[in-house]
Amino acid sequence: MQRNSSKRSLASWARGFAALWAVLVGGVALSARPAEASPFAYVAKSTGNTVSAIDTATNTVVATIMVRNQPTSVAVTPDGTRAYVTNRGSASVSVINTATNAVLATVLVGRQPIGVAVTPDGTRVYVTNFASNTVSVIATATNTVIKTILVGGSPLGSPLPRMGPMPIWRIAAPARSR
């Protein structure tokens, strides 16, 4: 009996220590975040051929960015520095610099690009091309298509399952001074 009691005590101590460690690490991570960083939502507006940048702290549109024909989906890199926008009507992806809210590059992909997702490490962007039955893989370092994968079946939505369903907006938290 005494042995089981000491095992429970040790397990309880270990859980407490793990919880304390998580709080300390979380506190350090939060305090390391720049004070001027603010989250922004990027919303594709298909009928106006624009993307709205919304400051989620104030719930106001801070920029309207012109992109190509029929923007459909937006994915933001994990570091929040770039937003990738599928342009369904022009077979392209607009790359937005989130610090300036300006189009940095336009990448040609397959016909009717709809879904877009960025890998967790931010090195690749995957785009589903509905009318081409393909997925385009874009290298974020060069903003060029490095591979086109034939998948068939008019692909829709996010090409990376861990990224969830096709979004109409994504959040970015770039550090920028005002």
| Residue 29: predicted pLDDT | 32
Strand ranges (E), the chain? 40-45, 50-55, 60-66, 71-76, 82-87, 92-97, 102-108, 113-118, 124-129, 134-139, 144-150, 169-172
Side-chain half-sphere CA neighbours of 114 within 13 A: 16
* Strands of 82-87's sheet in order across: 71-76, 82-87, 92-97, 102-108
Amino acid letter for position 5: S
In this predicted model, what pLDDT tens digit does every residue of 96-122 receive, in sequence order?
999 999 999 999 999 999 999 999 999
In this predicted model, what pLDDT tens digit does every residue of 39-75 receive, in sequence order?
899 999 999 999 999 999 999 999 999 999 999 999 9
* 110 close to 91: Cβ distance less than 8 angstroms: yes
- To the question of pTM greater than 0.85 for the whole model, the response is no
Q: How far apart are CA 33 and CA 46, in angstroms?
A: 34
Question: In a 10 Å sphere around its CB, with 0-12 CB exposed, 13-18 middle and 19+ buried, how is residue 99 labelled?
Answer: middle
126's tokens = 């995957």
Answer with the residue of higher pLDDT: 171 or 107.
Answer: 107
- DSSP symbol at 156: -
- DSSP symbol at 39: -
In this predicted model, what pLDDT tens digit does every residue of 126-147 receive, in sequence order?
999 999 999 999 999 999 999 9
Assigned architecture for domain 40-172: 7 Propeller (2.130)
67's tokens = 């992109």
- Give 47's contacts (C-beta < 8 A, 6+ positions apart): none
Query: What ranges do the domains of the chain cover?
Result: 1-32, 40-172
